[in-house]
Amino acid sequence: MILLALALAVAAPPAMTSDADAPRGPRLAGAQLEARTNDVGALLRCPVCQGLSVTDSPATMARNMKAEIREKLKAGYDQEQILASFERSYGEFVRLEPPARGVNWLVWLGPVAVLLAGGAVIAWSMRRRQGAAASAPAAAEIADLPSRDALPDDAQLAAAVKRVRTLAYGWTDGLSPSSQDPR
């Protein structure tokens, strides 16, 4: 959202390609004309509405704009020529999709850049964690360590260790639950 606002705030002015230029598209009629009118209208903001496209808005202004789109398509103007003609009157604001030019590239490429940066941070932190794991005791060393249920040979000392385990961990008879598992 911030990137979008930023791009709209400082967007480059539209190029002055006049729709007085020759029509570049085919002259449309019938059902195809209606469908294209709705398509192009969906790319334009209704200036008197709150976030509605020209196609979706029931406002008189939107109806008038739609009539103008229809007329231009009939005359053979293509989508970009029509969008540019409205942009000359209302500014880039009238386009619901900011065109990929100037600062607007931020809107299109910003999310990709943020995603890549996030991926890089994750990769970096994973590599760091792997490095830390490598310096940790190896599996063989861990296998050499006494098990959690190991007890000293001295019976009195063993009983004391068991009591401490019962108190500290709540293990019955000072034995870990895994060692009591019948499996």
Partner 1 sequence: MSEATSNTAPARINRNVLIGGAVVAFPLLAVLIANLGRDPHAVRSPLIGRPAPSFSLVPVGGGAPVTLEALRGKTVILNFWATWCVPCFQEHAALIEASRSLSGVKFFGVIYEDAEAKTREFIAQRGSGYPSLMDPEGRAAIAYGVFGVPETFFIDGNGRIVEKYVGPLDGSTILALAARAKDGVR
Smallest separation, CB 89 to partner 1 (Å): 4
HSE-CB for 146 with a 13 A CA cutoff: 5
- Nearer to partner 1 by C-beta: 47 or 99? 47
Smallest separation, CB 15 to partner 1 (Å): 11
Asked if 61 is part of the footprint of partner 1 (rule: CB under 8 A), the reply reads yes
Distance CA 57, CA 94 (A): 14
Tell me the backbone φ, ψ of residue 95, rounded to 5 degrees: -85, 130
Region at 162 (left for phi over 0; alpha for psi -120 to 50; beta for the rest): alpha
Of 56-64, 73-81, 138-146, 149-157, the window that binds partner 1 (rule: CB under 8 A) is 56-64
Applying CB under 8 A, which of residues 48, 100, 115, 122 lies at the interface with partner 1?
Answer: 48
Asked if 161 is part of the footprint of partner 1 (rule: CB under 8 A), the reply reads no
Of 83-91, 125-133, 157-165, 166-174, the window that binds partner 1 (rule: CB under 8 A) is 83-91
Tell me how many residues contact partner 1 (CB under 8 A): 21
Of 35-43, 85-93, 134-142, 160-168, the window that binds partner 1 (rule: CB under 8 A) is 85-93
Rounded (10°) CA dihedral 155, 159, 160, 161: 100
Q: Residues 87-116: x/- map of binding to partner 1 (CB under 8 A)?
A: xxxxx-x-----------------------
Instruction: Write out the residues near partner 1 by the rule CB under 8 A.
Output: 2, 6, 9, 13-14, 16, 47-48, 60-61, 64-65, 67-68, 86-91, 93
